[in-house]
């Protein structure tokens, strides 16, 4: 089956990439750059994994998000809040309707290249803060995409009810080289270890007992 994967180069979508390849699917990875602070670090990881696994990588640049949308993720490092990923303060990192935009573009591309499925690695840990990661959103969006492509394209969201620890466990089974995946919202050379997504990453490895080879900044 031909699948279009929304692929950032982060831990979740990299585990999904390995899962889909393990199932023998014909994957094309779509990497979106929308001016996110950690875009360069994400992109380097996306390039590395797709090269290693011989997967086609397509870049989609959305410069209008950087110029016209509002989110701390599009501002300076100092705007990224430290703290737990489910804290109310993390709402500053929402990029409005980002998953809706990425899924819609992936749907049009999938129909164009005759792929039946778009895969996205949203998970239960995203639900408190990010409305466009929740189960109902994915269900509604799937309805809209099925209708708007005359039934040709649908969404697969296999991690929707898993948490990040479950994903780390699965990635470990699939031998994903986690150290070449990027999470930190602040970008840079090393993970900061303090922002919401770093905290979630550290917690997930701790919960599973799997060794975390990520290099975090020492503060």
Residues in contact with its own copies by the rule CB under 8 A: 58, 60-61, 63-65, 68-71, 95-101, 103-105, 107-109, 111-113, 131-132, 134, 136-137, 140-141, 143-145, 147-150, 153
Paired sense of beta strands 154-156 and 2-6, if any: unpaired
Q: Which is nearer to its own copies, 67 or 219 (CB)?
A: 67
Half-sphere exposure of 71 (CA within 13 A, CB side): 23
Q: Which is nearer to its own copies, 140 or 173 (CB)?
A: 140
Smallest distance from the beta carbon of 66 to its own copies, in angstroms?
A: 11
- Round to whole Å and give the CA distance between 47 and 69: 26
Smallest distance from the beta carbon of 33 to its own copies, in angstroms?
A: 11
Smallest distance from the beta carbon of 29 to its own copies, in angstroms?
A: 13
- Round to whole Å and give the CA distance between 38 and 77: 10
Q: Which is nearer to its own copies, 25 or 104 (CB)?
A: 104
Q: Which is nearer to its own copies, 40 or 135 (CB)?
A: 135
Helix-, strand-, coil-residue percentages of the chain, each rounded to 5:
50, 15, 40
CA nearest 29: which of 41, 20, 40, 39? 20
């Amino acid at each position: 089956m031909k699948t279009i994967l929304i692929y950032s180069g982060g831990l979740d979508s990299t585990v999904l990439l390995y899962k889909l390849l393990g199932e023998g699917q014909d994957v094309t990875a779509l990497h979106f750059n929308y001016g996110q602070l950690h875009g360069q670090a994400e992109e380097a990881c996306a390039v590395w994994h797709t090269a290693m696994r011989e997967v086609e990588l397509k870049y989609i640049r959305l410069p209008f998000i950087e110029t016209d949308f509002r989110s701390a993720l599009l501002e300076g490092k100092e705007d990224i809040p430290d703290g737990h990923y489910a804290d109310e303060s993390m709402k500053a990192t929402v990029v409005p309707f980002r998953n809706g935009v990425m899924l819609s573009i992936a749907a049009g591309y999938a129909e164009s290249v005759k792929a039946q499925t778009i895969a996205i690695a949203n998970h239960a840990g995203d639900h408190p803060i990010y409305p466009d990661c929740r189960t109902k959103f994915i269900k509604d969006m799937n309805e809209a995409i099925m209708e708007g492509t005359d039934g040709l394209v649908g969404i697969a969201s296999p991690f929707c009810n898993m948490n990040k620890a479950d994903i780390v466990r699965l990635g470990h089974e699939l031998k994903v080289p986690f150290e070449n995946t990027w999470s930190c919202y602040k970008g840079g050379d090393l993970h900061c270890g303090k922002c919401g997504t770093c905290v979630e990453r550290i917690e997930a490895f701790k919960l599973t007992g799997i060794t975390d080879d990520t290099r975090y900044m020492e503060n």
